Amino acid sequence: MSDFEGLAALVTGGASGIGRATADLLAARGARVAVLDLDPSSVRKPLLAYRADVTDDASVRAAVAAAVTDLGGLDVLVNNAGVGAQGTVEDNDDEQWRRVLDVNVLGVVRTSRAALAHLRASAHAAIVNTCSIAATAGLPQRALYSASKGAVLSLTLAMAADHVREGIRVNCVNPGTVDTPWVGRLLDAAPDPVAERAALEARQPTGRLVTAAEVASAIAYLASPLSGATTGSALAVDGGMQGLRLRPAGR
């Protein structure tokens, strides 16, 4: 496949999990790809790597400027860096709320702000935000995380409206539970990791976790010049968790 031939892409949080799979896939499909991450030390050529913290506007601006110079432009921005939080609305203090919203929401704002002038110069500009099923379904113990991803969903729609006439498409993916190092850390911290994994698998009608490659494939679909009519959409990649209502097996 070569739909990304000649295009340049920047993936935040591209050193691990969904971001890494996305950076690898876009490169395999012909893009020149830069990764922006807190710790990009594991990123290997042909990917370019830039250290930046999406909560630090100066570091984002410097990394985006350096990446655009080295890539020779920018066509695709994947806003994927994010952190999790657990608990009900009673459980996280103000500092934790500020921290998670700073990474998951303002992080998208900062990279988009730094990238937009460059995207306007592209004939195939696309932004894809990594949102979550937590934006569209009420999940227990995820008050703060869900609020942050709900904001990402609304921001995706607002940005799509603001920039459609500039030729910049903006969409998001809503993954279910994805088998990434992040979920591995959550499982490791559970009292019974095997039972916890089984519960997460059973929650998704496909009976398994989503793979990072499957989310990367959806991000590439939305970012591709072949999807030029798709903007302001949220693509579920959740094993049917949002849309399906199954009866218990065998009944």
Ligand X SMILES: NC(=O)c1ccc[n+]([C@@H]2O[C@H](COP(=O)([O-])OP(=O)(O)OC[C@H]3O[C@@H](n4cnc5c(N)ncnc54)[C@H](O)[C@@H]3O)[C@@H](O)[C@H]2O)c1
Q: Tell me: does residue 25 bind ligand X (CB under 6 A).
A: no
Nearest CB to ligand X, comparing residues 127 and 183 = 183
> For ligand X, which residue of 9, 15, 71, 155 counts as binding (CB under 6 A)?
15
| Mask for 174-213, x = binds ligand X (CB under 6 A) | -x-xx-xxxx------------------------------
Q: Is the link from the previous residue into 46 a cis peptide, with omega within 30 of 0?
A: yes
Pairing of strands 168-175, 234-237: parallel
To ligand X, the closest distance from the beta carbon of 175 in angstroms equals 4
Helix or strand or coil: residue 243? coil
**Least distance from ligand X to the Cβ atom of residue 40, Å:** 8
Structure tokens at 89: 């609305």
Nearest to 32 by CA among 5, 3, 61: 5
Closer residue to ligand X (CB): 83 or 109: 83
Q: Shortest distance, CB of residue 119 to ligand X, whole angstroms?
A: 20
Per-residue contact flags (x/-) with ligand X for residues 124 to 163, judged by CB under 6 A: ------x-x-------------------------------
**Residue 117's Cα: distance from chain center in Å?**
21
Task: For residues 36 and 106, give the distance between their C-alpha atoms in angstroms, rounded to a whole number.
Answer: 15
| Assigned token pair, 136 | 């569209």
Cβ 13 to ligand X shortest distance, Å:
3
Give the torsion sign (CA, 18, 40, 53, 113).
negative
Q: Which value, in Å, is the radius of gyration of the alpha carbons in the chain?
A: 18
Among the listed ranges 25-33, 48-56, 68-76, 188-196, the one in contact with ligand X (CB under 6 A) is 48-56
Q: Which of 10, 13, 105, 124 binds ligand X (CB under 6 A)?
A: 13
Of 63, 81, 85, 151, the residue at the interface with ligand X (CB under 6 A) is 81
CA distances from 58 to 53, 66, 70, 104, 120 (A): 9, 12, 18, 17, 21
Task: Give the integer Cα–Cα distance in Å for 16 and 213.
Answer: 12
DSSP 8-class letter at 189: H
Site for ligand X in 61-80 (CB under 6 A): 80
**Contact between 23 and 71 (Cβ < 8 Å):** no
- Binding ligand X by CB under 6 A: which of 8, 9, 103, 153? 103
Judged by CB under 6 A, which of 17, 26, 172, 225 binds ligand X?
A: 17
What six digits make up the tokens of 140? 């227990």
Chain residues that interact with ligand X, rule: CB under 6 A = 12-13, 15-19, 37-39, 53-55, 80-83, 103, 130, 132, 175, 177-178, 180-183
